[in-house]
Amino acid sequence: MVAVRYQTAFQLYPYEKVPEQTAQMAPVRHPVVIVGGGPVGLALALDLGKKGTPALVLDDHDGAGLGSKAICFAQRTLDIAHRLGASSPMVEKGVVWNVGRVFHGERQLFNFDLLPEEGHRNPAFINLQQPYFERFLVEEIRAAQADGALIEIRGRNQIAGLEQHADYVTLQVDTPDGPYRIEADYLIACDGARSTLREMMGLSFDGRVFEDSFLIADVRMTADFPTERWFWFEPPFKDSGQSALLHKQPDDVWRIDFQLGWDIDRAKEMNEDRIRARVDAMLSSQTGTVPDYELVWTSIYTFQCRRMQSFRHGPVFFAGDSAHQVSPFGARGANSGIQDADNLAWKLDLAVNGLANDVLLDSYATEREYGADENILHSSRATDFMTPKSKISRTFRDAVLHLAAKHSFARPMVNSGRLSMPCAYDGFALFGPDALKGGPAGARPGAPCPDAPDGNNFLLDQLGGGFIVLSIGGEAAPAVSAYSITAAPVHIDTPSDILRKRYLGDQESAVYLIRPDQHVVARWASFDEAAVGTALAKAIGKG
Amino acid sequence: MSVELNPNLPDPDGFYDELLQAHTGLSDTESEAYNARLVLIMANHIGERETLTRLLDAAR
């Protein structure tokens, strides 16, 4: 029996019986089994497959779930998707907004225009419904399969049991044709906030529960309505709670959130007339007229900020929502999950090829636990600003809002969610020296490589998905190897002004060692083979 | 000295967080008293009489 827990927006990987399900067959051992075909599991499978490592994805449904999930994908996610070959349809379909307005009650406090920073291939973020994001990843997986990548997605394959051994895992899998067993050298749990694998392994998931309920309404309007983000503190519309948010998605759909408080009657609040009354009030608040709209989706949710204590348990790794959850403010759920996949894929690839040790595999957990803590911190701060927990925090919050209307200094303190930025692994064990005097902080060891124009293209295109020795200005550096791993050379003879600013500062030349996830390992003023080799060994946990 | 009313504070979110943490565990009366002490300490740190008059006005 495979229970249907939700409706799907797109059927992407219909159930098909595979030979392994034949009775009496000994369980087949797979190098990597990924449980969960959401954004994280799919990105990980695509990354592994493109590197030449087989990846098997099991999902208990057969496509992308319908409903309101992630809608905001940040630049780092798009850069990763670009490396995987999947970003073009995302950016084409996605909505970019630049103008935001912040209201307090009836009053507009201020507006802002997010002028895009020049010299990046991808925008700072796009709004795109999660089902599309998943569909575009699956389409790229299909293209990679056609090119020979060993990726397999099995729909309606549900995990019914797990046996953990020292260096592999046996899974009992339920299907519409009954159960079968498989084995995995590495098992990756990308099965979401209610992770079945986490529960089966009896692992705790502790953190802070925020006592609040949010009503989500996705509405379709074909009338002209500005592509702007509107955010209200204490919205003036009747019974609309502490805050309200309106922003646009593709297909003429606007996402609306109402923060209703904890003590609500969920059934009553889901009543369509009641939802429509709130939506009418919001949409007409600036013009006085209610545009025609259709309610596409409504739901009520609460959230928590928490993470697992450790993201790795022997051969089992947790990635995405199964490992950490944050409030939705700042779009840190799916975006941080994609960074998990990005961090894990190359380490697993080396492990499957016998080139990784436990130090490298453990670094996935320590690096991404740190990333999760940073995201939980930012999202907790936003939540505390939006829902003050004490009298004094309300006093300060209201003071910030009051001052923000008059003085621009207070506007950066207004917090309705901070845009997800990738974390820099400052001071982590696998990173090497910063030996570029006056080197720009944005490209310091530990940081993800900033993009920059290079000729008619962009720098990140040249970095690909392996180790890279990047020499900028000066002489071209050669390839460097350590422990059977080679960092391929990329040379930029004449850097663009922006590339110079982001990588050289006031230096004339530099040499960077870059990881497969495009984080900087170390940097120097000039090439020194021994130094680069030492840093490369360190980057794979053998330093 | 003119009064700086454009953004001038690095890490505003971190400061805001720390400011609220400083009030953790205080009663309402204690919080008020803490704020008063903080204003007086900041005024002394600024140390410019005319600037303080402008700041008092900007906060109205």
Contacts of B26 in chain A (CB under 8 A): 392
Residue-range domain boundaries for chain A = 8-86+117-204+307-374, 434-539
pLDDT tens for A422-463 read 999 999 999 999 999 999 999 999 999 999 999 999 999 999
Best mutation target, B5, B6, B16, B18, to test chain A (most A CBs within 10 A): B16
> Per-residue pLDDT averaged across A294-307, rounded?
90
Q: Are A227 and A97 in contact (CB under 8 A)?
A: yes
**Regarding beta strands A485-492 and A468-472, do their DSSP bridges make them parallel or antiparallel, or are they unpaired?**
parallel
ipTM: 0.96
pLDDT tens for A97-112 read 888 999 999 999 999 8
**Residue A294 belongs to what H/E stretch?**
strand A294-307
Average pLDDT, chain A: 94
Q: Could you confirm whether domain A434-539 is CATH 3.30.70.1290?
A: no
pLDDT for the residue A417: 86
pLDDT tens for A197-211 read 999 999 988 888 777
Best mutation target, A379, A387, A409, A421, to test chain B (most B CBs within 10 A): A409
pLDDT for the residue A51: 97
Among A384, A396, A412, select the one facing B12 at the smallest CB separation: A412
B56 touches chain A (CB under 8 A): no
- Going by pLDDT thresholds of 50, 70 and 90, the confidence category of residue A239 is confident
- Going by pLDDT thresholds of 50, 70 and 90, the confidence category of residue A487 is very high
The reply to whether A434-539 shares the fold of A8-86+117-204+307-374 is no
- Going by pLDDT thresholds of 50, 70 and 90, the confidence category of residue A303 is confident
> Per-residue pLDDT averaged across A215-232, rounded?
90
The CATH H-level (homologous superfamily) assignment of domain A8-86+117-204+307-374 is FAD/NAD(P)-binding domain (3.50.50.60)
Contacts of B12 in chain A (CB under 8 A): 412-413
> Per-residue pLDDT averaged across B35-52, rounded?
96
A390 touches chain B (CB under 8 A): yes
Distance CA(A66)–CA(A7), nearest Å, equals: 6
Residue-range domain boundaries for chain B = 28-60
- Going by pLDDT thresholds of 50, 70 and 90, the confidence category of residue B2 is confident
Q: Does the distance separating the beta carbons of A393 and B20 come in below 8 Å?
A: yes
- Going by pLDDT thresholds of 50, 70 and 90, the confidence category of residue A494 is very high
- Going by pLDDT thresholds of 50, 70 and 90, the confidence category of residue A60 is very high
Contacts of A407 in chain B (CB under 8 A): 5-6, 58
In 3-state terms, chain A is what percent helix, strand and coil (to 5)?
A: 30, 30, 40
pLDDT for the residue B1: 65
Q: Does the distance separating the beta carbons of A392 and B31 come in below 8 Å?
A: yes
Lowest mean pLDDT among A32-46, A56-70, A395-409, B3-17: A56-70
Q: Which of A335, A211, A256 is nearest to A68 (CA)?
A: A256
Q: Would you say residue A23 has pLDDT above 90?
A: no
pLDDT for the residue A318: 98
Q: Are A307 and A325 in contact (CB under 8 A)?
A: yes
B1 touches chain A (CB under 8 A): no
3 state DSSP class of A420: coil
Distance CA(A98)–CA(A126), nearest Å, equals: 10
> Per-residue pLDDT averaged across A264-293, rounded?
92
Provide the CB-side half-sphere exposure for B32 (13 A, CA).
3
pLDDT for the residue A1: 66
Provide the CB-side half-sphere exposure for A331 (13 A, CA).
22
Burial annotation A91-102 (CB, 10 A radius, 16+ → b, else e) = bebbbebeebbb
Distance CA(A492)–CA(A213), nearest Å, equals: 52
